[in-house]
């Protein structure tokens, strides 16, 4: 699914990560994307619409907001909302993840203005 919202440029994302003192190694560890791939994407080599780029954007944005993966897991309202619409299938999980990632792109852009 193509992200319908513009994502930050690699330069913008790289600057934001540096300002938050987020290393490529920490991005790699938290997203499961290799450090070399993170480096390529942040330097502008690669597709800004790739799933990996969107994951990096979402991770950096969540750090800006001070949200950890553990906080997400502990948020009953969010977990209940997902449980109410997810049928348990991998296909629908992927679709829901794409929707949430698209929303993350919107938040990142609106926070930059």
Tens digits of residue pLDDT in 62-98: 887 777 666 778 889 999 999 999 999 999 988 888 8
Identify which of 67, 39, 49 has the alpha carbon closest to the alpha carbon of residue 9. Answer: 49
Report whether 76 contacts 44 (CB < 8 A).
no
Q: Which domain holds residue 29?
A: 10-112
Q: Residue 63: inside a domain, yes or no?
A: yes
In the predicted model, what is the mean pLDDT of residues 15-31? Answer: 90
Handedness of CA 69, 13, 10, 95 (dihedral sign): positive
Q: What is the pTM of this model?
A: 0.57
Indicate which CATH number applies to the domain containing 19: 1.10.260
Q: Which long-range contacts (CB under 8 A, 24 or more apart) does 96-104 make?
A: 98/1, 98/3, 101/3, 101/51, 101/54, 101/55, 101/57, 101/58, 102/3, 102/4, 102/5, 102/54, 104/54, 104/57, 104/58, 104/61, 104/62
Q: Residue 5: inside a domain, yes or no?
A: no
Number of domains composing the chain: 1
| Among the ranges given (2-11, 13-22, 60-69, 79-88), the one the predictor scored with the smallest mean pLDDT | 2-11
């Amino acid at each position: 699914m193509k992200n319908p919202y513009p994502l930050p440029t690699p330069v913008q994302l790289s600057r934001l990560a540096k300002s938050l003192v987020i290393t490529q190694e920490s991005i790699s560890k938290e997203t499961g994307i290799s450090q070399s791939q993170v480096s390529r994407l942040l330097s502008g080599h690669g597709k800004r619409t790739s799933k990996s780029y969107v994951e990096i954007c979402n991770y950096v944005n969540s750090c800006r907001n001070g949200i950890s993966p553990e906080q997400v897991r502990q948020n009953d309202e969010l977990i209940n909302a997902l449980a109410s619409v997810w049928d348990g299938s991998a296909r629908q999980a992927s679709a829901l993840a794409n929707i949430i990632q698209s929303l993350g792109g919107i938040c990142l852009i609106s926070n930059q203005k």
